[in-house]
Amino acid sequence: MSDQIEKVKCLIIGSGPAGYTAAIYAARANMKPVLYQGVQPGGQLTTTNEVENFPGYPDGITGPEMMIELQKQAERFETDVRNGWVTKVDFSGDIHKVWVNDTKEIHCETVIISTGASAKYLGIDSEQKYLKLGGGVSACAVCDGFFYRNQEVVIVGAGDSACEEAHYLSKLCKKVTMLVRRDEFRASKIMSARVKKTENIEILYNTETDEVLGDGQVVTGVRAFNNQTNEKHVIPATGFFVAIGHTPNTDIFKDYLKMDETGYIINKPGTAKTEVEGVFVSGDAADHVYRQAVTAAGTGCMAALDAERYLAAKDADFEFVTPMY
């Protein structure tokens, strides 16, 4: 059953730094934005602990706090922030159609996609089994680390996320074993150095996961193997954390927008425009390179400005506020 169709000038999908920044700019430009938060209100930053590299916070700020502030700022200019998940789109016509929770249909003059990216898993059966059971597999140390206080855990990955999460876990857990599949880190020097000098983090290089072990309900250990010697050994652990990167949340757009082989939306260089007029993209959904909160916010701003210019060019009655160059 479909609710009555709603008409919206600017619909923003996603509530990370990109979405909220787009909302701030769009709201201040009379575009009356409606923002749908998606399944993870606040986006990936809500799973981050300390954000130290967003300009304007000399003492750092936690990810969840920062997202609350961004939401407040967007609402201050009357962004209509809503709970709901966009499940389908149709970008084939002049008016872009969007469905929320499979029922509510919205007709939009402009759409700003800020759907971000989601955590990847290894995909091995035992990992998926204990993930589904809620028995000790997680891709978010900040969300779940608390449950493993004073216990031993394993974390997979060697990027900045893995380092940040391993460091966070080391504050809570008795021991953290980090499985690094190559003989070096991918993470920045400062992040990997922090991990290397933390006493209760043991780093195993050239090491991968063979099996997540458990008693049928919860994780009890990890069988790892050295990919140079093929030697296997068991690491006792009650938690198995996966921090190996992300996949863009762009599936629902694949019939309409150009994407790279991983699913990142391809924007027109130097703009937030997609190849569909009136549809714009910002944040990690289109960025596999920088993937930072501040770059996401920057492209959110670009998307709102591009959307405003698009409306101003299309609709003589639209009173734009930002100077049109």
Q: By C-beta, is 9 or 288 nearer to ligand NDP?
A: 288
Residues 6+ apart with CB under 8 A from 303: 18, 22, 112, 114, 272, 280, 281, 282
Q: By C-beta, is 9 or 181 nearer to ligand NDP?
A: 181
Q: By C-beta, is 67 or 81 nearer to ligand NDP?
A: 67
Q: By C-beta, is 51 or 307 nearer to ligand NDP?
A: 51
* Whether residue 143 lies in the annotated active site: yes
- The DSSP element (H or E) to which 68 belongs, if any, is helix 63-76
Q: For residue 188, which phi and psi values (nearest 5 degrees)?
A: -60, 160
Give the active site residue among 3, 102, 143, 260.
143
In the bound complex, what is the minimum distance in angstroms from residue 146's beta carbon to ligand NDP? Answer: 20
Q: Which residue has the tokens 């019939």?
A: 255
3-state class of 261 per DSSP?
coil
* In contact, 253 and 265? CB cutoff 8 Å: yes
CA–centroid distance for 98 within its chain? 21
Give the active site residue among 80, 90, 140, 210.
140
* Whether residue 10 lies in the annotated active site: no
Q: How far apart are the C-alpha atoms of 293 and 112, rounded to whole Å?
A: 17
Q: How far apart are the C-alpha atoms of 101 and 255, rounded to whole Å?
A: 19
In the bound complex, what is the minimum distance in angstroms from residue 288's beta carbon to ligand NDP? Answer: 9
Give the active site residue among 144, 160, 284, 287.
144
In the bound complex, what is the minimum distance in angstroms from residue 51's beta carbon to ligand NDP? Answer: 7
Burial tier of 270 (Cβ tally within 10 Å: 0-12, 13-18, 19+) = exposed
Q: By C-beta, is 11 or 178 nearer to ligand NDP?
A: 178
In the bound complex, what is the minimum distance in angstroms from residue 245's beta carbon to ligand NDP? Answer: 4
**Closest residue to ligand NDP, Cβ-based?**
159
In the bound complex, what is the minimum distance in angstroms from residue 261's beta carbon to ligand NDP? Answer: 15
Q: Is the dihedral of CA 126, 129, 133, 134 positive or negative?
A: positive
Q: By C-beta, is 165 or 308 nearer to ligand NDP?
A: 165
In the bound complex, what is the minimum distance in angstroms from residue 197's beta carbon to ligand NDP? Answer: 17
* Whether residue 140 lies in the annotated active site: yes
Rounded to a whole number of angstroms, the CA Rg of the chain reads 22
Chain residues that interact with ligand NDP, rule: CB under 6 A: 53, 122, 156-162, 164, 181-182, 186, 208, 244-246, 291
Q: What separation in angstroms does the CA of 41 have from each of 37, 111, 177, 263, 300?
A: 5, 18, 31, 22, 16
CA–centroid distance for 270 within its chain? 22
Q: Which residues are catalytic?
A: 140, 143-144
